[in-house]
Amino acid sequence: MLGLAKRVKAKILQASTSEVYGDPNVHPQTEAYWGNVNPIGPRSCYDEGKRCAETLFFDYWRQHKLRIKVARIFNTYGPRMHPNDGRVVSNFIVQALLGQDITIYGDGSQTRSFCYVDDLIDGLMRLMATGDQVTGPINIGNPHEFTILQLASMIVEMIGARSKIVRQPLPENDPRQRQPDISLAKEKLSWEPRTQLKEGLVRTISYFEKLLAEDSARKILTRE
Ligand code: UDP
């Protein structure tokens, strides 16, 4: 893709990730932080793959003056998430709507900061509209941080579900905390997220309600 962008002289976006910070020792994470990633762990292929992609983008920028834009995207949620991809927001909503147990990995004290998809898209569009001197990396995320337990309680309450919360083992190298410092996005893009978690969850829950009303989706998820 970098070679193609060079040939056709295109501006190119890398959808990078907060995973480049690994299990961070610096909190909140600024773009200047180099991260704390286990190179041989079970989630390393994603983390290191994205880190390597950032390296290649900056090599092309240095060597070929390619117009790059690198966004580090923090946990994003919203309508059209796949109900089965295993991420926390979709898992909890689907479980609550189906009255299944809510699966908390570990003790639920780990934190994430959830960004509504429309806010993310707005940030990415603003990044693409910046002058060539703005390469990033630039954090795009919502700095409002929640524990996973708080998220579970919020979703159960909003849905009025009878699900019970159960504990499952914490995956290896699961980051303990994550919160973006978005000072750079504020400065360079005049951007900050506008959607509060509760408001975004209302729209996401409504999406999944409609989806689960379809027989085919319900059958797959309940293995009927
Ligand atoms: N998680 C959880 N239950 C689930 C799915 C995820 O407790 O059913 C936890 C997971 O261990 C992590 C957090 O929720 O601490 C966010 O997980 P997700 O996969 O959505 O994003 P990531 O770990 O990549 O930030």
112 lines ligand 1 (CB under 6 A): yes
Spans of the chain below 50 pLDDT: none
Q: What residue's CA is closest to ligand 1, atom 4?
A: 88
Give the three-class secondary structure for 69: strand
21, 33, 46, 77: the active-site residue: 46
User: How much is the pTM?
Assistant: 0.95
Give the residue among 78, 76, 61, 66 at the shortest CA–CA distance from 19: 76
Helices vs strands, H then E, count in the chain: 8, 9
Please calculate the CA angle 15-104-22 and round it to the nearest 5 degrees: 35
Which domains does the chain possess? 2-222 (3.40.50.720)
For the chain, the C-alpha Rg in angstroms (whole number) is: 19
Q: From ligand 1's centre to the CA of 101, what distance in Å? A: 15
90 lines ligand 1 (CB under 6 A): no
Q: What is the pLDDT of residue 223?
A: 67
Contact 110, 177 (CB under 8 A): yes
pLDDT digits (tens, 9 = 90+) for 65-84: 999 999 999 999 999 999 99
Q: What is the pLDDT of residue 224?
A: 59
Active site residue 46: yes
Q: What is the pLDDT of residue 221?
A: 76
Q: What is the pLDDT of residue 40?
A: 96
The per-residue DSSP string of 14-68 comes to EEEEGGGGBS-SSSSBPTT---B--TTSTTHHHHHHHHHHHHHHHHHHHHH---E
